[in-house]
Amino acid sequence: MKTVSPVRRALITTLLCSSLFMMPSMGMANNNYPTGPVTMMVPYPAGGPSDSIARVLSGPIGKQLGVQVIVENLGGATGSIAANKVLNAKADGSYFFQGTANELILPPLTNSAIKFKPNDFRSVHPITTSNLVLLVKQDLPVNSVEDFIALSKKRASSTPLTYGSVGVGSLYHLISDRLSQTLNANLVHVPYRGTTNVMQDLAGGQIDFAIQAFSKNMKDMEKEGRYKIIAVLSKEKPEILQEYPILSDAKGFEDFNYFTGSSYLVKKDTPEHIVEKLNKAISAAVQEPEVRNALGADGRVVANPMTPAQANDFYQAEIRQTEDVIKQTGFKGN
């Protein structure tokens, strides 16, 4: 049997002790996130539906993380400007993105100028699902889905109806494009930088209609005579929308079933311990009664708790569904 020299034995003992001493420190480093304020990136200007979600959740998420969560609004290019800013930052959890398929999935699939891919992000946790509604300006002579269909066809060859969206290749653009195809009627697209701008021009009568994610204040605006809610685009609708018809009940629109959801996402190579901590913070935040009441009162369905793996599966399903919408419309992009 080979004898270990006293000097070698001492060296081995020293190295083992050093390793054992360092292990807790490494573990502590992994649990040290976050060390300061983190930024919630919202890819639209302040005042819109996305911003309202951020304002409801930033405080509760910050409370769970033990630091301040700063909301940063950065609109433009259907959310791609904000997405690129997050991707250009370090993958250390200092930024997380509040997004939907409209910003992270559709643009890279339809616009060759956008270099990031949907899977450059990973979902940390879903937040809400929202119904989509068809809105028309107040003085448009329609009060039902049938009226809208008839007017769209009547004006198609002379003065086509105009509609606003948050950008070329956005979810709202593609759905409106499919609406045009189903109607077999020309509709004119007017792209904007954000939802707030679309709604301002709809209320001001500069555009004829828009498809948007429903929020409770839309019913208040309708009562004030700013615009009219004509139909719900999903086959299922919450109690707050029960008085409005479902578009898929109209002849020719049977397969229309559209809604949108929002999630929190980070760069795909963000360390797992950071993703797990963010996931737990968001999961706890969306379970708070005040948060669920605030988001649910606006007509949204609030997400149930999910693990990071479940959140990723949810995101992959969204990618597949978005690819199907692109195929249905035949949209080629740039």
Count each helix (H run) and each strand (E run) in the chain, helices first.
12, 10
Calculate the alpha carbon distances from 219 to 46, 241, 328 in Å: 20, 9, 31
How confident is the model over 204-215, as a mean pLDDT?
A: 95
CA end-to-end distance (rounded Å), the chain: 74
DSSP-derived 3-state class of residue 259: strand
The amino acid at residue 282 is: I
Residues near 280 by beta carbon (within 8 Å), at least 6 away in sequence: 64
How confident is the model over 12-38, as a mean pLDDT?
A: 57
Query: Torsion over CA of 118, 123, 126 and 130, rounded to 10 degrees?
Result: -10
pLDDT at 3: 52
27 pLDDT band, cuts 50/70/90, is very low
Does 13 score more than 50 pLDDT?
A: no
d(CA 231, CA 228): 9
pLDDT in tens, 232-284: 999 988 888 999 999 999 999 998 988 888 999 999 999 999 999 999 999 99
Domains of the chain: 38-129+260-329 (3.40.190.150), 131-249 (3.40.190.10)
pLDDT at 68: 98
pLDDT at 5: 53
pLDDT in tens, 170-184: 889 999 999 999 999
Does 320 score more than 80 pLDDT?
A: yes
